[in-house]
Amino acid sequence: MRLLSRLAAGMDRISAFIGYACAVLFFTCIVLSALEVVMRYVFDAPTQWTFETVMALCATGWVMTSGYVTQRKRHIAITMMELVVPAHVWKKMELVSLGVAIFALSALIWATWEPAMMALHGGERSGSSFNPLLPAYLKPTLVVGAFLYLLQLLANVVHWFEDQAKGEAE
C-alpha cells in the first residue's frame, strides 16, 4: 500500500503542476481576445488566426486541468445528496462515482485513440481560412488529458482507501 500511496501522491503533484501551468493558457486567451477586439473595432483589421488560437488554448487548458480539478475535488457537484445521506453512505457513494468515472474515462480513451492517431498522422486541418492543424493537435491532446484524468481518478481511489483506513484506526 505504501507504493500505491507514493504513486498517488506523485500523481497529485503532477496534476497540481499541470493545473498551475495551464493558468498561463487562460491568461493568454484573455490577452489575445482583447487584442482581437482592438484590431477589429479600433483598427478595422480583424485577424484570421485569433479565434482558432484562443479556441485551441482554451480547449487545451480545459482538457489538461481535469486531473487538477479532480485532485482538488473542485468539480461541479450536486451537494444536496451529501447533506441528505449519512456520512458513511456518502463515502461509499464517492467510491461508486470514482468507479463510474474511471469506466467513462477508459471508454473515452478507447474511443478517441484511433481518431486521434489518424488526425495526427494525416495532418488533419480545420478547413478555415487560417486552416491550422487544430484537429491534429486537439484530438491527441484530448487523449493525453483523458489519460492524465484517469490516472488522477485512480490516485483518488487510493486516497479513498487511505481515508477509510485512517477512519478505522481512529
Q: Give the domain extent around 130.
A: 1-168
Mean pLDDT for all residues in the chain: 92
pLDDT tens digits, 10-61: 999 999 999 999 999 999 999 999 999 999 999 999 998 999 999 999 999 9
Supply the pLDDT for residue 170.
66
- pLDDT exceeds 80 at position 107: yes
Percent of the chain exceeding pLDDT 70 equals 99
Domain count, the chain: 1
Tallying the residues shown for the chain, one arrives at 170
Q: Which pLDDT score, from 0 to 100, does residue 169 have?
A: 72
73-84 pLDDT, tens per residue? 887 777 777 788
- Which cell numbers in the block locate residue 137? 493537435
pLDDT on residue 126: 85
Is the per-residue pLDDT at 124 higher than 90? no
**101-108 own/partner pairs: CB under 8 Å, 24+ apart:** 101/153, 102/150, 102/153, 102/154, 102/157, 105/146, 105/149, 105/150, 105/153, 106/150, 108/146
| CB-facing half-sphere around the CA of 126: CA atoms within 13 A | 16
**Nearest of 136, 143, 154 to residue 111 by alpha carbon:** 143
Residue range 131-139: mean pLDDT, rounded: 90
Distance in angstroms (rounded) separating the CA atoms of residues 46 and 68: 35
The region, left, alpha or beta by phi > 0 then psi within -120 to 50, assigned to residue 6 is: alpha
What would the grid cell of residue 83 be? Answer: 447533506
In this structure, what C-alpha cell is assigned to residue 122? 494525416
Q: Model pTM? A: 0.89
